Each structure stands twice: as C-alpha cells, then as structure tokens.
Amino acid sequence: MPMMTQIPTEAKIVLTGGKDFWHTHAVEEAGLPQVVLTDGPHGVRLQDGEAAELGLRQAIPATCFPPAVALASSWDPALVEQVGQALGEECQALGVGILLGPGMNIKRSPLCGRNFEYFSEDPLLSGAMAAGMIEGVQSQGVGTSVKHFAANNQETDRQRRDSQIDERTLREIYLRGFGKAIRQAKPWTVMCSYNRLNGTYASENHWLLTDILRGEWGYEGFVMSDWGAVHDRVTSLIAGLDLEMPVNDDHERATTRALAAGAIDPEVIDQAYARIEAVLRKVVDGSRGADDGAGFDVIAHHDLARQVAEQSIVLLTNDGVLPLERDVKVGVIGEFARTPRYQGAGSSRVNPTRLDNALASIEAIVGHEVPFAPGFITATGQTLPPDAHDQAVALASEVEVAVVFLGLGEDHESEGFDRTTMDLPSEQLALVDDILAVNRNVVVVLANGAAVLLPFGDRVRAVVEGWLPGQAGGAALAKVVYGLVNPSGKLAETIPLRLQDVPSHVHFPGDRTGVRYGEGLFAGYRGYDATQTPVAFPFGHGLSYTSFAYSGLTVTPVAGRSSGESTVEAELVPPPTTAMNITVTVTNTGQRAGAEVVQVYVGLPASKVVRVPRELKGFAKVVLEPGQSVPVEITVSAEDLAYWSVAEQSWLVEGGEYVVMVGSSSRDLRLSQTVSLSGDEPWRPLTMESTLGEAMANPVFAQAVAQAQGGVFGEVGADSETVRMMIDSPLSVIAGFSSLGAQIQGLLDQVNATGGRPGPR
C-alpha cells in the first residue's frame, strides 16, 4: 500500500467529492476501487440502471423493513440490531458499501414530513435504537451513515432554514442521541444536514463537525454531506467535512484553486483524504462480492420483517373487542387493507421483494373470503365508484364487527414537505361517523408515518396503530387483530388532543429568518407534562392482551462522575454518587404470554436549574408467561443524569433528592422512590456578586448570619420576611444599603478558605 505522501494531491482532492450520485472515486495510485453508497435506512434502495442521476425511479428489489417510526415502537434495540444485520447482508449481496442511515433526528413536531424515518421525540430512545441499527449493519462489513447531523427537524425550506437553538437545549435534546449512538456504535460515516445551525450551515459548522463530533465524542470516521448540502467545499473541508456528495466539478476545481492560492492548508486535504480512505478500505476488506451468487435469503428476511412489525404495532385502545374470534362476522373497510401504505415516500422508498396486505392475511386466518369495501381513495390516480362511501356504510350495517383501515397517503406526508394538519382526510373521518351510526362495534387500524389526531378514539371499540409496517405489515396486523400475536408496541412519540397543544406549535416551521426552538428543553412529552396538558395517548403508552403488575422497587445510588470535564476536587472522599441501579419485579397477571416495556423516568423537583418534570432515563423489554414474575434491572448512568451547564461548559450531575418513577408509560407510573445523589458539580467560590440566597446555601455563611447582631445581617437573621425580600439580591447591593461591605467581604474570604465546607479542609 503506497504511503499517503505518494498519492498525488489531485487524487486527494478528487476523493473529497463523489464520482457521480452514488459512487466514490477510485484512487488507482492507492489501489482503492470506487464504493457504492445508497439510500436506507429501512431497506436497500439501490437504483436500477445508470447511477449518474438522482431520480427516484425503480430500484432493485430488496426487503422493505418497517421504517424507524415503527421500529422505535418496539423499544427493543436488540430487535433493531437484527434488522441491521439483515440490511447488511442485503448490502453485501447487492454490492453496496455504505448504507445511508439510520435517521435519528428528534421528532420536534408531528408535522415534520420525514418523521417516518426518525425514531422518537426522546434522545435516549433514539440513541439506543440507532446504536442497535448501526451495530447490526456494520457487523456485516458494511458502513452506515447516521443522519442528519444536526437539528434537521422539518422539511419546510430544509436546505436553507436556520435552526436557532440555545446551547443547553441543543446538547440535551438534539445532540444527545447522536452522541450516544456515535460513541457506542461507532458508525463509519456521519451525514451532515442541509440546514443552518445558529447561523452557520451544518456543512460549514466547525463547532459541530470538529469541536463536538471529533473533539468531545472522539469520532474517527468520515463526515459526508447530504446530497447538495455543500455550498463551498473549501469552507466545509476546513470545518471538518470530508466528502461532498454527489459529484460537483465546480467545487472540485475551486478547491484546487484555493490550495494553489494558499487559502486552504494542504494538511486539511490530507486529513480528509486519510479519513475517507480508511473507511473505504474497511468497506473493501469487508466486501464479500456482489457477484458471488450468494444473494440473500428473501423468505427469511420477509419473515423477519413480519416479526419486527408484530413487535412494533401499538394497541392504543381496546374495550375487550380484540382479539377477534375467527367465527365473528367481520367486514373490512378501507383501501389501505387491500393496497397497503407500508413505507414512507421520497429517497428511502424501497422496491419490496414481496408485499402482504391485511385483507388477504385476514382471509387466510379465518379461512374464507371476507366482505370488503374500499370506502375512499388513498392515492392520486385511484378511482372508485361514486357510491363507494355508501357501499362501505352498508357493509358495516351487515356485519358484527367493522374493521376500518384509515391512514395517510403519500400525498399527505413525504420527504420534501411538512404536513399542515394532524387530521386524517375529511372523507375518512366522515366515513367513520357514518359507520358508527349503523354499527357500534368498530375497530380502527391506522397506517401513518407520524401521529394523527383521533377524534373518534373514545367512540370506537379499539384503535390499532400500525404505523408504516413494512412489506410484511399486512400479515402482522392481521395476526395482532386476531390474537395470534399479543401486541407489545409502545409509543415513541406523544399523540396530542390538538395540534395547538404541541409544545413547538407556535414556532414551527418558522420563516425566512429561521425557526426558533422556543420551547427549549420542553419538546415532546417533556412539554406536555410540564404544563399538565391532557393528551390523547402519552409517550410510552401501549396496551396488551394481558396485564402486568409492578412491585419491589429498589433504587441504589452508585459512585462515579459524569463523562464531562469537571472541576470537582480530586481529593473528595467518598466519591460523589452520580448514578443509580434500579431493580423492580414485573409479574404477568393475565392469561396470555406477553411482553412489557419497563420504563424508568427521573425528576429532580428542587433543582437549581430549569428542569422538566421527568425524563426517560432507562428502559427494558421483558417477555413473560402467564403468572411469571421476573426482576428487571436497569442502570441509569451519570452520563444520562447529567445536564449541560452553560456556565461551566461541562456535563454535570446536580446533587439533590431525585424522584425515580417506574411504570408502563410516562403517565402510567406504578412505583416511585426518592434517592439522594451528591452529584459532581464543582464548588464555586462566593463573590460580592453572589446572591444572598446562594450565600445562605453555604453552612458557614448561614451560621454567621444567624449569629449576627444588629445591622442588615441582624435583620436578615431575625426576620424571615426580610430574607424572602432580599434572597435574590447580590451581596454587593446589600453592602450598598449599609456600611457592611468590608464585613461581608471578610466573611466571604472566610467561607472561601474552607472550600465551601464547614471544618478544616
């Protein structure tokens, strides 16, 4: 292998841009062939034919697994890892070196048109799911590209809009999941997003691509652009981008001119080249060859897609009508049952190897033909009889149970545009109303890539959230409805009662000046819980055909420090408690085997910083037979408990009384326990700009005030009303009211000499 110094500079510059839309350049001098990059993330979308164009035309058949919107509802990273392994096998069979995914941007608004490609409104869940996917794909010698980094939370004006986010919110909500997935799973590549972040394009953002990604997270792979996200390759390379996709000859020539003019350091080119070459060699070393005839197991992968869909379906409501018995006279209504909506629209569209539909799958289960009425149009170009609505209502009046398939077509949600409403199409809502007028036994099955409003939710007997369930989703839905599978999916996003209740609603999607993330830390369930806003279905919710009881909660503090830099004194003994181990016993109290997702939420009511009431800090999925009890152990790390201190520019665990809540959703919390953590916040010396309240929190200062006689301090020590009035006043202001400046400074010197602790240091 030739040394990098022997590679011509021209070849290094060439490798920092694509050869075409889907290939990297070959470097003959390094013995490096071209490598195929292609769209994921829930299937391999390898374009059929010439790769020199962007078109979303027919792709080579591959397994269409459930997209992230469904995968996340499984709350099972190990299951997602199995999907990743299968995707890696298909990439190998099709000659793909890097799969563009997973997508893991936070679902800030249910209106985002690309939410079907993203996991959750919570960074902990998003990070865990993405890590599983990355590890699965890369175990097969194929690279991943975690995307879109960062703060790409809408499609409206996505290539220009400025995401304006304060640093703490950015780190705790929008970067935290990326950091977790990148540090744990080490994706070979990261894809930067189109948008600006606080005024700077992501592709040109040195703080994002170098300081955070490489400096703080230790990332060693290469950074590529989203397709067309680079505006100036020279500026992007200096910022930390390595590969511009797709081909852009003008940018390549501009980079050559900049190098000749001294506008870019040759070391920057060398560094980008080295990162790209290192990853591409991993691809080459891991390649098993697309033409070896091995292919992939189409049937096994279809079966896996069905099993994953089964675990991802969420039973939202059920009054006992489900599961259906096979001898119940059922009518199926809704074109989605016959012509399924099973994946999102846009660059991730997969050409499935086969496709199940729910109608045929129901008929296979009951053993005979089931009466069906399409009811409404689901896609542009579709035609139905003028009386299709009336036919559906008539069918509903003739059966015992009407199973109605509703949802959103590709006209309503897709990459490239955001929704303007959370409503289902009006013709579908009208049909449900008319069906309920003739039959109260209605089961609704949904097909949608993001949350929709459910005004009929309390009037139908059951609602099954199928999301977009992949190519085998029809069979999975039928098995859940008839009880061949016990549903265990849990919501990875809140379903509100009104669009106006969404915490980001008044700021989304912004305007030409940018989009302000004005809700701050209060995205998703955090915001609903902080304002105690009623919701249709809370984050983490999902019913089962069995029931579960929780008992025996124990929470044990653990010594250690958070992962960020801290100025806590090294000689502190014992070390601070900054993490916790949680154990709870879960019992299946029903008559069916089933799976439960145990969720741990943590709050700090007396926090000194702005906090949400509770945040997801751990989870585990367990499968139980009827009557079986199992202990579930979950560790909440210091890293996950830490908040970002803007003042200290560090991750810190605040000391205090933490409330640990365990249950089945964010609003179905069965057990709780309070535990004291000492935290690892550094002690900050008191100054004349410290407030009276901050000073009184120090025992040495408080004791001196309590013993003071006369003057302002005498009043403070004796009069609680005075304390309340002056508690937020800086000591310099209090000194200005009297002649106590020297006395106060002397007391501060005394306190600071103790290191903030009573007694000798």
Instruction: List residues with catalytic annotation.
Output: 226
**Confidence at 2, pLDDT banded by 50, 70, 90:** low
With beta carbons less than 8 A apart as the criterion, state whether 126 and 75 touch: no
249 lies in some domain: yes
Closest CA to 712 of 733, 694, 693, 698: 733
Residue with structure tokens 């089964």? 310
Collapsing DSSP states into helix, strand and coil, what is residue 400? coil
Mean pLDDT of the chain, nearest integer: 93
Alpha-carbon dihedral sign for residues 724, 728, 731, 733? negative
Least confident interval from 153-167, 289-303, 557-571: 557-571
The mean per-residue pLDDT over the stretch 374-380 comes to 93
pLDDT at 706: 73
Judged against a pLDDT cut of 90, whether residue 739 lies above it is answered with no
pLDDT at 224: 98
Secondary structure of 487-513 as H, E, C letters: CCCCCCCCEECCHHHCCCHHHCCCECC
Angle, alpha carbons 493-75-609 (nearest 5°) = 55
543 lies in some domain: no
112 lies in some domain: yes
Alpha-carbon dihedral sign for residues 563, 569, 575, 576? negative
CATH code, domain with 407:
3.40.50.1700
pLDDT at 170: 98
Judged against a pLDDT cut of 50, whether residue 439 lies above it is answered with yes
- Domain shared by 331 and 254, yes or no: no
Closest CA to 373 of 472, 450, 439: 439
Termini Cα distance of the chain: 59
Taking the C-alpha atoms of residue 647 and residue 665, their distance in angstroms, rounded to an integer, is 34
Angle, alpha carbons 238-239-242 (nearest 5°) = 75
Judged against a pLDDT cut of 80, whether residue 370 lies above it is answered with yes
pLDDT at 694: 86
Taking the C-alpha atoms of residue 751 and residue 745, their distance in angstroms, rounded to an integer, is 10
Q: How far is CA 179 from CA 71, 125, 128, 215, 495, in A?
A: 20, 12, 11, 12, 27
User: Domain boundary residue among 255, 286, 317?
Assistant: 286
pTM > 0.75: yes or no: yes
- Domain shared by 663 and 703, yes or no: no
- Domain shared by 20 and 50, yes or no: yes
- Domain shared by 621 and 587, yes or no: yes
pLDDT at 289: 75
Q: What is the DSSP string of 583-611?
A: EEEEEE-SSS-EEEEEEEEEE-TT-SS--
CATH code, domain with 648:
2.60.40.10
Taking the C-alpha atoms of residue 124 and residue 602, their distance in angstroms, rounded to an integer, is 13
The two structure tokens encoding residue 102: 């997973």
Judged against a pLDDT cut of 90, whether residue 43 lies above it is answered with yes
**pLDDT tens-digit series, residues 496-507:** 999 999 999 999
542 lies in some domain: no
- Domain shared by 570 and 653, yes or no: yes
With beta carbons less than 8 A apart as the criterion, state whether 569 and 623 touch: no
Alpha-carbon dihedral sign for residues 30, 36, 42, 43? negative
Count CB atoms within 10 A of the CB of residue 512: 8
683 lies in some domain: no
With beta carbons less than 8 A apart as the criterion, state whether 276 and 242 touch: yes
- Domain shared by 698 and 605, yes or no: no
The two structure tokens encoding residue 335: 């074109």
595 lies in some domain: yes
The two structure tokens encoding residue 270: 């060398």
Count CB atoms within 10 A of the CB of residue 732: 14
Angle, alpha carbons 18-198-186 (nearest 5°) = 50
**pLDDT tens-digit series, residues 168-210:** 999 999 999 999 999 999 999 999 999 999 999 999 999 999 9
Amino acid (1-letter code) at residue 258: A
pLDDT at 374: 98
**pLDDT tens-digit series, residues 447-503:** 999 999 999 999 999 999 999 999 999 999 999 999 999 999 999 999 999 999 999
pLDDT at 473: 98
pLDDT at 753: 85
- Domain shared by 47 and 92, yes or no: yes
Judged against a pLDDT cut of 90, whether residue 417 lies above it is answered with yes
- Domain shared by 97 and 147, yes or no: yes
Taking the C-alpha atoms of residue 620 and residue 724, their distance in angstroms, rounded to an integer, is 45
**Confidence at 5, pLDDT banded by 50, 70, 90:** low
704 lies in some domain: yes
pLDDT at 571: 45
The mean per-residue pLDDT over the stretch 127-147 comes to 98
**pLDDT tens-digit series, residues 584-627:** 999 999 999 999 999 999 999 999 999 999 999 999 999 999 99
- Domain shared by 701 and 731, yes or no: yes
E-strand spans in 424-486?
Answer: 442-447, 462-465
With beta carbons less than 8 A apart as the criterion, state whether 94 and 291 touch: no
Taking the C-alpha atoms of residue 490 and residue 51, their distance in angstroms, rounded to an integer, is 39
Tell me 16's DSSP state: T
Report residue 659 CA to chain centroid gap. Answer: 24
Round the CA-based radius of gyration of the chain to a whole number and report it: 29
With beta carbons less than 8 A apart as the criterion, state whether 471 and 305 touch: yes
pLDDT at 65: 98
Q: How far is CA 217 from CA 90, 564, 642, 665, in A?
A: 30, 10, 16, 31
Q: How many domains does the chain have?
A: 4
Judged against a pLDDT cut of 70, whether residue 569 lies above it is answered with no
**Confidence at 757, pLDDT banded by 50, 70, 90:** low
- Domain shared by 465 and 608, yes or no: no
Report residue 115 CA to chain centroid gap. Answer: 10
The mean per-residue pLDDT over the stretch 104-109 comes to 98
With beta carbons less than 8 A apart as the criterion, state whether 634 and 620 touch: yes
Judged against a pLDDT cut of 70, whether residue 572 lies above it is answered with no
Q: Find the domain containing 707 and state its range.
A: 692-753
User: Domain boundary residue among 504, 537, 570?
Assistant: 537
124 lies in some domain: yes
- Domain shared by 528 and 557, yes or no: no
pLDDT cut 90: percent of the chain above it: 83
> Which helix (H) or strand (E) segment is 665 a member of?
strand 656-665
Report residue 123 CA to chain centroid gap. Answer: 5
CATH code, domain with 247:
3.20.20.300
User: Domain boundary residue among 537, 566, 595?
Assistant: 537
pLDDT at 560: 77
Residue scoring higher pLDDT (684 or 639): 639
Taking the C-alpha atoms of residue 401 and residue 331, their distance in angstroms, rounded to an integer, is 6
- Domain shared by 53 and 102, yes or no: yes
